[in-house]
Structure 1
């Protein structure tokens, strides 16, 4: 389970399995990966708070009416009304996980709650969260890889490994296993570095057009020509699948995922034509520890419960948050949020339910593009005006 009704609140994050009447719940969506939207359909009738990029996908891909979408701009606190006399504030932070993914910081009479959703921690992400250090009562943490066994390389290192594999198999076709959302920038960097066109799904192509412009993507619908490198749904890659492909032409597969990290067995270890590269959009164990020790919350709760990994592996040990006990801030007295706002430390924006996007820039993920624009330039990716604040390592 990847969604929760936050303890002591009426706030539901990535939680859509509602039975009976639930008008009292206020719903937030961290991102649009399938395991975070189970139960969310086009017939949904309640308001959803999310990032602007996610709101675009909710409307265009899932058919939700614009009147139900409430946009949370990055790094700005907005007031969420509960009743005529009661409200709380929420601030969204870039989660550096997939396009549109955000973390939420809630402040109200229930205290201060930080909900990471899925995220990949980094020094830049920690810098963006500097205002919440020593302020968090309860931290809901992405515990996907919360195990000392789960150590894997940076995404840049994994990109270089993928480039190396493909260059070593210059006479082979290459299939790359991906999911519906995510890996768009990874694939673009790969295509540019190899100077090859990559055939991607129509969904990937459409999402990438919202993020950047590049000439290294195509789809079957746009071109009759076959290309050496193409993406396939990750779940299709297996020994039998590769045997079938190799009957026609020599083919290798790359799975850019850390999903098998920390398991007692390593799938595909005997398959010479399948390469698992631990590219991850989740934080590894060391990054999680750095994140918690920097923010110093009072309490940490795991987001993923009843943990089952690949092949039914029991991963319940990753729900154990006692590994962070030594870095928790147990002696902090909770500051009243109205004191903070009266001192002018935050910009607070009242949320107008009847307004559209106003002056908020579309897809303004991360204000740190200036720091990463050199990376975009070297890969010849031109960021669209609608996403001019997107960072190159966002996936």
Structure 2
């Protein structure tokens, strides 16, 4: 019996806008490791061994230019990648099956690699590396469910009440939805919601399923088995998806456009195309088609007015309809924050690195509690892994103030320090700029900007009392100074006339343009300036007057 009819007019906060951040490629592996994972750049090409976790294109970006033997991947991942990049030579790949271990010979130090199911898409694996560098788990893209973790070696998985017998040294973790704290439904539950949504719309002659992404094949297979109808895929308009499904689930494909179920592209402009399909059906006096989008992105990135509403668990109990007529089901191929925190508690790794997005792991509670530079001794293997020599010459205090990472220093408590502050500042300053990989910047909290701090002019602003409407500026505060040093000093000594606050270039509530450019280059908001000494003294005087009056 089909379930009862759903309420098709839920109360959604208005307006709803989808904001999906750009997908970033995975980070480079540390320089001290002999292998790369999912990166195809000149830097990673210098590695001796290469690993591909799955066939999504953001993990194979650049492979056509920088591929070199050997590339370890599952047979399905290899077949899909060769389908995307037909000019690649199949001889570059070395097959590794899920559950298989391979001993990799290396001129410096050999290591063992084992592939485990990543619960992400067909052929997707996590790689466990074991060697002289330590025990490293690279998750690729994953959905860390209890079943997924149970497939890992028992010695690396602990319990809530005790740590594992053997702790992982490093986990390179997929943190795509690391800031999304709501509990997502399992894949099985989400597929059941898709089926229920179709049952509740028996009058819909056409059902459009936006399942064109690698990893959504389970939905198509379940729909095909439940309703006894294959899925029509337009080979001419979507040849890449057709080829992928031909490799993974060829039995569900229909070449008949009269089939009730059609594959529908999720990108681009899904809402516009959905409205066009609905308008076309109404113009022909036909029932509205059913358009279902199984994806977590709508639930994660929707712009709602209330954070409490976003945390409601009932949002995930059934398909939900938006104002464009699209039914959304929370089907996720990535872990939520709760799943990541739970997995880290069981694995209890010594260090966690976010593969994508960069630096996201720093926001996880486990990382804040257990992954501190203050816990690392000077001879810890992590420094060698990063190719950092703590015995390098010290830098002076002025250089340290420009190069010491705020994140690094914030993680150190006085009771935890095992080496001096100057030694810590050396970490980010002694190595050559080109040797610090994206991994190094992520771990040390360095920015991605190419700007040099010494070249940035600091604005000189005189702040007046809050009740005043005029600000006194030093000449040249918000302008670039290109003149000789002597001319600059003479200009600095000149006072500009009092300017009305409505026409000043830099108001009392803002910092200078150069400083704002610096913060924009680091993708963080510019801080508000600290109150001046005049402000503090005036506030103190006003407080005293109030107390005495």
Return the TM-score normalized by structure 2: 0.52
CA distance in 2, matches of 1:22, 1:14: 11
Residue number in structure 2 paired with 1:295: 347
Aligned pair 1:232/2:264, yes or no? Answer: yes
CA distance in 1, matches of 2:279, 2:298: 28
Q: Superposition pairs for residues 43-192 of structure 1, below 5 Å?
A: 44-63=67-86, 64-83=88-107, 85-129=108-152, 130-133=154-157, 134-172=166-204, 173-192=206-225
Cα drift, residue 41 of structure 1? 1.8
Q: Which has the higher strand share?
A: 1
Cα drift, residue 264 of structure 1? 5.6
Q: Superposition pairs for residues 196-275 of structure 1, below 5 Å?
A: 196-200=229-233, 202=235, 203-204=240-241, 206-211=243-248, 214=251, 216-218=252-254, 222-223=255-256, 225-236=257-268, 238-249=270-281, 250-263=288-301, 265=303, 270-271=322-323, 273-275=325-327
Cα drift, residue 294 of structure 1? 1.3
CA distance in 1, matches of 2:50, 2:33: 11
Give the secondary-structure state (helix, strand or coil) at the position aligned to 1:234.
Answer: coil
CA distance in 2, matches of 1:192, 1:4: 40
Cα drift, residue 213 of structure 1? 6.3
* Structure 1 unmatched runs, 5+: 307-315, 335-395
Cα drift, residue 68 of structure 1? 0.5
CA distance in 2, matches of 1:104, 1:305: 19
1:194 is matched with which residue: 227, 243, 248?
A: 227
Distance change (3 Å), C-alpha of 1:237 and 1:190: farther
Cα drift, residue 150 of structure 1? 3.9
CA distance in 1, matches of 2:66, 2:42: 13
CA distance in 2, matches of 1:37, 1:146: 22
Report if the CA contact (8 A) 2:97-2:115 is conserved.
yes
Q: CA RMSD in A?
A: 3.1
Report if the CA contact (8 A) 1:132-1:295 is conserved.
yes
Distance change (3 Å), C-alpha of 1:269 and 1:124: closer
Report if the CA contact (8 A) 1:146-1:288 is conserved.
yes
State which structure, 1 or 2, has the greater radius of gyration over its C-alpha atoms.
Answer: 2
Cα drift, residue 180 of structure 1? 4.0
Cα drift, residue 305 of structure 1? 2.9
Cα drift, residue 206 of structure 1? 4.6
Report if the CA contact (8 A) 2:111-2:132 is conserved.
yes
* Aligned positions, number: 317
CA distance in 1, matches of 2:99, 2:155: 10
Distance change (3 Å), C-alpha of 1:270 and 1:67: closer
Q: Which has the higher helix share?
A: 2
CA distance in 2, matches of 1:320, 1:328: 11
Cα drift, residue 325 of structure 1? 4.6
Give the secondary-structure state (helix, strand or coil) at the position aligned to 2:267.
Answer: helix
Q: Which moved more, 1:42-51 or 1:103-112?
A: 42-51
CA distance in 1, matches of 2:63, 2:363: 29
Cα drift, residue 32 of structure 1? 0.8
Q: Deviations over 1:150-186 (max 9, x none)?
A: 4211112211211122222222222122334221122
Return the TM-score normalized by structure 1: 0.71
